[in-house]
Amino acid sequence: MANSERTFIAIKPDGLQCSLVGEIIKRFEQKGFRPIAMKLIQTSEDLLKEHYIDLKDRPFLAGLLKYMQSWPVVVIVWEGLNVVKTGRVMLGETNPPDSKLGTIRGDFCIQVGRNIIHGKDSVESAEKEIG
Ligand code: UDP
Ligand code: MG
């Protein structure tokens, strides 16, 4: 059962603009996870408001919504043992300067508002987002 744990990852506009889609997919594949769904999408204001519902009172939300709609994003569902927790470790911290080298945010970005990738931090929220 644990081997079928799933997480939701989104490569944000800056990830595409910096040509990091292949690199990010490679890291998850080489770690041992299986991609079970993958799509290039254009997000909408309504979808993002739902996606970022926990951040509804944060001052940076408006800028985040605008930025996320500025370019397509690649959404991927990954499956495997402990993929939610391991996926978050692979992403690094929300704020790139706090991210260790060797993580995606630690290696490829410098600014919190342009941190390349999104990933869920619990099995429940990942399942909700996959839906
Ligand atoms: N964010 C931002 N400024 C901040 C904090 C967060 O622009 O001060 C953005 C950033 O893109 C982050 C997203 O809001 O990835 C969601 O924030 P959360 O705290 O959920 O971080 P995450 O789960 O992405 O690490
Ligand atoms: Mg989050």
Label each residue of 78-91 as H, E or C.
Answer: EECCCHHHHHHHHH
Q: Is pTM, for the whole model, over 0.85?
A: yes
115 in ligand 1 pocket by Cβ < 6 Å? Answer: yes
Starting from the CA of residue 94, give the closest ligand.
1
94 in ligand 1 pocket by Cβ < 6 Å? Answer: yes
- What's the pLDDT tens digit per position in 66-117? 999 999 999 999 999 999 999 999 999 999 999 999 999 999 999 999 999 9
Cβ atoms within 10 Å, residue 63: 10
- pLDDT of 13: 98
Report whether 130 contacts 83 (CB < 8 A): no
Residue 130 above 80 pLDDT? yes
- Asked if residue 103 belongs to a known ligand binding site, the reply is no
Residue 125 above 90 pLDDT? no
Is 118 tagged catalytic? yes
Cβ atoms within 10 Å, residue 126: 22
- Asked if residue 94 belongs to a known ligand binding site, the reply is yes
Residue 28 above 80 pLDDT? yes
